């Protein structure tokens, strides 16, 4: 009983810390220093412990609220909302794990706070692969000149705020702004401009106009949307609002891209509260039924009827898009490190990976190529989930022709390198930036070898498009934002074919050619490096990027930083 309440203190405190820091870390503007966060985390845990020793259990959520109010200096509505929305998940977690305070603080705040990790989150199960031997790896053949190409639009992290209000404060002191209820600014403070703000989510009309321009100006055969529709007002979200957004999004897609196949992946923001994706062993009102049944209804124009059971079970599915090209949409939230429902059983939640392997084996047997879509990239999920993804990707490298992810809001990639031969690349993890105004809005279009029998369906190149938000707002409502080609891999990186080995080579070239790396660094931030980041990335900053490109597994130290 005592342990139960002790953990509840830890969990609720952590809920506040995690809730306020993790989902908002992608917001520009607010940066709580690591030392402050670390102290708050450890103090909160110690305080909760003392209260429990004194038998004042019911005060623990109140402590979390007070820490939120006075240490994080968040507004009352934020603290009340967070403590209330997160409680069921953390109450569950506390029954299923023992958390040492330092482990907790270290897990979320990193080595600057504590190097400890939560052993349960490192728990490494090994997925079982079928006995079928891995086919010998053949080099990927470049397409013949003039061979047809398939174009794929990749959209990610749209983050629409239905309550965005022009003129509201854009610098409101809350984790995100631009709603009337977030406050109206005194004349000296920044106001929400028409097309959006770097500190806020996307107005509907900016999403609408972006879709309109994409439909008008670009050509593509397929759409991959890698998740995250809702805004970042995570302390005051309701299930109804999330569903309304999803519905609005599917209407936009139907309006501007009628008849174009759409594949979606489930973002961590799609749920309420954010990151909460209980596996099937959680039943009743806390289960995911409220979301998956609606998502199924809304997406049924695009998803084959035989995938209903998969969508309802876990928000994942597969679809044959073209003869020879299959797509698998994974729900990576089942590896999310803030999805504490997983602590009930970290082994392959809902059997998603086993299902994934079955799909891949059948694809291998019938000679199909597979594109994998997900929201959180495989190097950003908990260790067991991440390493098993890598293991599957390596086994099926000749079948998987692309890995497409989002979630970070910034432009990035990682190369999967064979642990047995570290110069051999067997996959590229593409991470596309957000449409949301985290720096400038972006989307990209891949050119893929495809749409003919025997095609590799490998990415050959991509083009990244952005618009300058500052400039769009200066021009105002009367003029559409001007989207332009930010770069393409062919000319910016001098990459003839964007095969995995070319990306491994690019990382080597980054090491020797610093100006090439600095180009990437600006693309990473969509040509708008935030003021709290170095304008030129050298030394440790560069080393971290380089080792991130090469370690495609979480907590992998194969390539030391
Ligand atoms: C964590 O480990 C790094 C080296 O791996 C070390 O430099 C750092 O001081 C450690 N931090 C703490 C808080 O122990
Ligand atoms: C899984 O495999 C890894 C690497 O081979 C090994 O270190 C680990 O002990 C295995 N874990 C389990 C639970 O079998
Ligand atoms: C189910 O949960 C939602 C969200 O937490 C809540 O609004 C609703 O009242 C709950 N319904 C029942 C029947 O408990
Ligand atoms: C956890 O889930 C796995 C896979 O579904 C299952 O085999 C195992 O028995 C479960 N463990 C527990 C303790 O329930
Ligand atoms: C390692 O991989 C590289 C690149 O594919 C290849 O050229 C080389 O022969 C491999 N080395 C060994 C020892 O297999
Ligand atoms: C690709 O193939 C599909 C069906 O096989 C066909 O409907 C479509 O027109 C083709 N698209 C292109 C760009 O060739
Ligand atoms: C965006 O526009 C602003 C205002 O005109 C300008 O200062 C800035 O340099 C532009 N950024 C880019 C990447 O063009
Ligand atoms: C890439 O961009 C350059 C201009 O920067 C353009 O000339 C070229 O046609 C583009 N290539 C592709 C494949 O889009
Ligand atoms: Zn996002
Ligand atoms: Zn996300």
User: What is the C-alpha separation between 346 and 392, in angstroms, rounded?
Assistant: 17
> Ligand 3: does its nearest atom lie under 6 Å from the Cβ of 285?
yes
Q: Could you tell me if 193 and 231 lie in one domain? A: no
Total domain count, the chain: 3
Q: Could you tell me if 237 and 371 lie in one domain? A: yes
Q: How many CB atoms lie within 10 A of CB 371?
A: 24
Ligand 1: residues with CB < 6 A are: 111, 114-115
pLDDT at residue 66, as a whole number: 76
Q: How many CB atoms lie within 10 A of CB 188?
A: 6
Q: Could you tell me if 494 and 529 lie in one domain? A: yes
Q: How many CB atoms lie within 10 A of CB 263?
A: 23
Distance 123 CA to ligand 2 centre (A): 10
Q: Does residue 118 fall inside a structural domain? A: no
Q: Could you tell me if 276 and 393 lie in one domain? A: yes
Token output for 96: 């299923």
The annotation status of 157 as a binding-site residue, yes or no, is yes
Q: Could you tell me if 404 and 424 lie in one domain? A: yes
Please name the residue whose Cα sits nearest to atom 10 of ligand 3: 285
pLDDT at residue 54, as a whole number: 74
Residue among 330, 322, 340, 528 nearest 437 (CA): 528
> Ligand 5: does its nearest atom lie under 6 Å from the Cβ of 531?
no
Distance 488 CA to ligand 8 centre (A): 6
**Burial of 398: CB neighbours in 10 Å, binned 0-12, 13-18, 19+:** middle
Distance 464 CA to ligand 8 centre (A): 11
Residue among 196, 136, 155, 156 nearest 474 (CA): 196
User: What is the C-alpha separation between 290 and 243, in angstroms, rounded?
Assistant: 9
The annotation status of 201 as a binding-site residue, yes or no, is no
The annotation status of 268 as a binding-site residue, yes or no, is yes
pLDDT at residue 561, as a whole number: 78
pLDDT tens digits in sequence order for the chain, 561 residues long: 223 333 344 444 554 444 444 333 333 233 445 566 777 767 776 666 666 667 666 666 777 777 777 766 788 888 888 888 887 776 676 566 555 666 666 655 566 677 666 666 677 889 999 999 999 999 999 999 999 999 999 999 999 999 999 999 999 989 899 999 998 888 788 999 999 999 999 999 999 999 999 999 999 999 999 999 999 999 999 999 999 999 999 999 999 999 999 999 999 999 999 999 999 999 999 999 999 999 999 999 999 999 999 999 999 999 999 999 999 999 999 999 888 898 888 899 999 999 999 999 999 999 999 999 999 999 999 889 999 999 999 999 999 999 999 999 999 999 999 999 999 999 999 999 999 999 999 999 999 999 999 999 999 999 999 999 999 999 999 999 999 999 999 999 999 999 999 999 999 999 999 999 999 999 999 999 999 999 999 999 999 999 999 999 998 988 887
Distance 489 CA to ligand 7 centre (A): 22
Ramachandran bin of 157, using left for φ above 0, alpha for ψ from -120 to 50, beta for the remaining angles: left
Q: Does residue 138 fall inside a structural domain? A: no
Q: Could you tell me if 82 and 174 lie in one domain? A: no
Atom number, ligand 6, closest to the C-alpha of residue 221:
13
Atom number, ligand 1, closest to the C-alpha of residue 106:
13
> Can you give the residue range of the structural domain that contains 15?
11-113
Q: Does residue 256 fall inside a structural domain? A: yes
Q: How far is CA 130 from CA 127, 356, 392, in A?
A: 10, 12, 11
Positive or negative torsion for Cα 89, 95, 101, 102: negative
Distance 81 CA to ligand 3 centre (A): 15
pLDDT at residue 124, as a whole number: 80
Distance 249 CA to ligand 6 centre (A): 26
> Ligand 7: does its nearest atom lie under 6 Å from the Cβ of 471?
yes
Which ligand neighbours the alpha carbon of 261 most closely? 6
pLDDT at residue 185, as a whole number: 85
| Crossing angle of helices 34-53 and 2-21, rounded to 10° | 160
The annotation status of 159 as a binding-site residue, yes or no, is yes
Q: Could you tell me if 478 and 395 lie in one domain? A: yes
Q: Could you tell me if 181 and 249 lie in one domain? A: no
- What CATH number is attached to the domain comprising 487? 3.60.21.10
Q: In this structure, are residues 489 and 455 in contact, taking their beta carbons and an 8 Å threshold?
A: no
What's the order of all strands across the beta sheet hosting 421-431? 317-322, 325-329, 369-373, 400-405, 421-431, 412-418
User: What is the C-alpha separation between 525 and 56, in angstroms, rounded?
Assistant: 47
Please name the residue whose Cα sits nearest to atom 12 of ligand 1: 114
Strands (E), 324-420: 325-329, 369-373, 400-405, 412-418
Q: In this structure, are residues 98 and 7 in contact, taking their beta carbons and an 8 Å threshold?
A: yes
pLDDT at residue 65, as a whole number: 77
H or E segment at 447? strand 442-449
Q: Could you tell me if 70 and 209 lie in one domain? A: no
Q: Could you tell me if 194 and 205 lie in one domain? A: no
Q: Does residue 219 fall inside a structural domain? A: yes
Atom number, ligand 8, closest to the C-alpha of residue 461:
13
> Ligand 6: does its nearest atom lie under 6 Å from the Cβ of 286?
no
Pocket test for ligand 2, best of 119, 120, 123, 124 (most atoms within 8 A of CB): 124
Please name the residue whose Cα sits nearest to atom 8 of ligand 6: 451
User: What is the C-alpha separation between 68 and 59, in angstroms, rounded?
Assistant: 14
Residue among 289, 286, 297 nearest 314 (CA): 289
Q: How many CB atoms lie within 10 A of CB 50?
A: 11
Which ligand neighbours the alpha carbon of 128 most closely? 2
User: What is the C-alpha separation between 408 and 70, in angstroms, rounded?
Assistant: 29
Distance 345 CA to ligand 4 centre (A): 6
Helices (H), 196-284: 204-217, 239-256
Q: Could you tell me if 252 and 371 lie in one domain? A: yes
Atom number, ligand 5, closest to the C-alpha of residue 421:
1
Q: Does residue 2 fall inside a structural domain? A: no
Task: Name the pairing type of β-strands 262-264 and 421-431.
Answer: unpaired
Please name the residue whose Cα sits nearest to atom 12 of ligand 2: 125
- Please work out, in degrees rounded to the nearest 5, the angle formed at the alpha carbon of residue 237 by the alpha carbons of 287 and 261: 70
User: What is the C-alpha separation between 87 and 175, in angstroms, rounded?
Assistant: 20
> Ligand 2: does its nearest atom lie under 6 Å from the Cβ of 123?
no
Please name the residue whose Cα sits nearest to atom 1 of ligand 6: 451
Rounded to an integer, what is the distance from CA 519 to the centroid of its chain? 23
Which ligand neighbours the alpha carbon of 140 most closely? 5
DSSP count for the chain of H helices, then E strands: 17, 12
pLDDT at residue 9, as a whole number: 42
Which ligand neighbours the alpha carbon of 459 most closely? 8
Residue found by looking up tokens 């200096």 in the block: 73
Bridge partners (DSSP) of residue 462 are 446
Token output for 69: 């109010």
The annotation status of 375 as a binding-site residue, yes or no, is yes
Q: In this structure, are residues 147 and 451 in contact, taking their beta carbons and an 8 Å threshold?
A: no
Q: Does residue 119 fall inside a structural domain? A: no
Residue among 481, 409, 469 nearest 170 (CA): 469
H or E segment at 319? strand 317-322
Q: Could you tell me if 365 and 408 lie in one domain? A: yes
- 307-312 — which CB contacts under 8 Å span 24+ positions? 310/355
User: What is the C-alpha separation between 417 and 265, in angstroms, rounded?
Assistant: 25
Q: Does residue 459 fall inside a structural domain? A: yes
Q: Does residue 559 fall inside a structural domain? A: no
Residue among 369, 385, 366 nearest 377 (CA): 385
Terminal CA-CA length for the chain:
43
Report the half-sphere exposure of 410 (CA within 13 A, side-chain side). 18
Pocket test for ligand 7, best of 468, 481, 485 (most atoms within 8 A of CB): 468
**Burial of 76: CB neighbours in 10 Å, binned 0-12, 13-18, 19+:** exposed
């Amino acid at each position: 009983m005592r342990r139960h309440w002790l953990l509840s203190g830890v969990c609720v405190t952590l809920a506040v810390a995690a809730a306020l820091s993790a989902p908002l870390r992608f917001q520009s503007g607010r940066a709580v220093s690591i030392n402050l966060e670390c102290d708050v985390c450890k103090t909160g845990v110690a305080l909760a412990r003392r209260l429990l020793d004194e038998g004042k259990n019911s005060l623990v959520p109140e402590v979390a609220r007070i820490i939120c109010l006075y240490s994080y200096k968040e507004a009352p509505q934020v603290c009340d909302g967070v403590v209330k929305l997160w409680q069921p998940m953390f109450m569950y977690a506390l029954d299923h794990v023992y958390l040492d305070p330092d482990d907790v603080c270290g897990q979320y705040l990193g080595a600057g706070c504590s190097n400890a990790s939560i052993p349960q989150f490192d728990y490494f199960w090994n997925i079982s692969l079928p006995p079928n031997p891995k086919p010998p790896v053949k080099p990927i053949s470049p397409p013949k000149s003039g061979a047809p190409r398939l174009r794929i639009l990749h959209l990610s992290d749209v983050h629409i705020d239905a309550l965005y209000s022009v003129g509201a404060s854009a610098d409101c002191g809350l984790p995100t702004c631009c709603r009337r209820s977030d406050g109206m600014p005194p004349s000296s403070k920044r106001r929400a401009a028409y097309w959006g703000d770097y500190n806020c989510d996307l107005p509907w009309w900016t999403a609408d106009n972006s879709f309109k321009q994409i439909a008008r100006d670009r050509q593509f055969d397929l759409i991959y949307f890698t998740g995250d529709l809702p805004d970042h007002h995570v302390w005051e979200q309701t299930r109804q609002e999330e569903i309304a957004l999803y519905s609005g999004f599917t209407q936009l897609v139907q309006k501007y891209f009628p008849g174009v196949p759409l594949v979606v992946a489930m973002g961590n923001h799609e749920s309420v509260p954010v990151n909460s994706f209980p596996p099937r062993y959680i039943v009743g009102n806390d289960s995911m039924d409220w979301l998956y049944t609606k998502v199924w209804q809304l997406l049924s124009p695009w998803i084959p009827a035989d995938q209903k059971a998969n969508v309802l079970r876990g928000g994942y599915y597969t679809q044959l898009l073209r003869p020879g090209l299959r797509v698998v949409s994974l729900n990576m939230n089942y590896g999310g490190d803030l999805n504490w429902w997983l602590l009930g059983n970290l082994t392959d939640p809902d059997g998603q990976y086993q299902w994934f392997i079955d799909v891949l084996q059948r694809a291998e047997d019938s000679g199909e190529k597979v594109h994998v879509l997900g929201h959180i990239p495989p190097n950003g999920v908990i260790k067991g989930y991440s390493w098993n993804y890598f293991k599957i990707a390596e086994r099926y490298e000749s079948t998987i022709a692309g890995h497409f992810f989002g979630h970070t809001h910034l432009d990035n990639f990682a190369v999967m390198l064979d642990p047995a031969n570290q110069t051999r690349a067997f996959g590229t993890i593409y991470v596309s930036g957000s449409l949301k105004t985290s720096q400038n809005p972006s989307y990209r279009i891949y050119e893929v070898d495809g749409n003919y029998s025997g095609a590799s369906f490998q990415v050959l190149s991509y083009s990244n498009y952005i618009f300058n938000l500052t400039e769009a707002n200066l021009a105002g409502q009367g003029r559409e934002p001007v989207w332009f080609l930010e770069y393409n891999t062919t000319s910016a990186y001098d990459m003839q074919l964007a095969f995995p080995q070319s990306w491994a080579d690019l990382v080597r070239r980054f090491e020797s050619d610093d100006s090439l790396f600095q180009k990437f660094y600006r693309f990473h931030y969509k040509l708008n490096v935030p003021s709290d980041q170095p304008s030129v990335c050298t030394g440790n900053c560069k080393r971290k990027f380089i080792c991130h490109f090469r370690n495609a597994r979480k907590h992998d130290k194969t390539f030391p930083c």
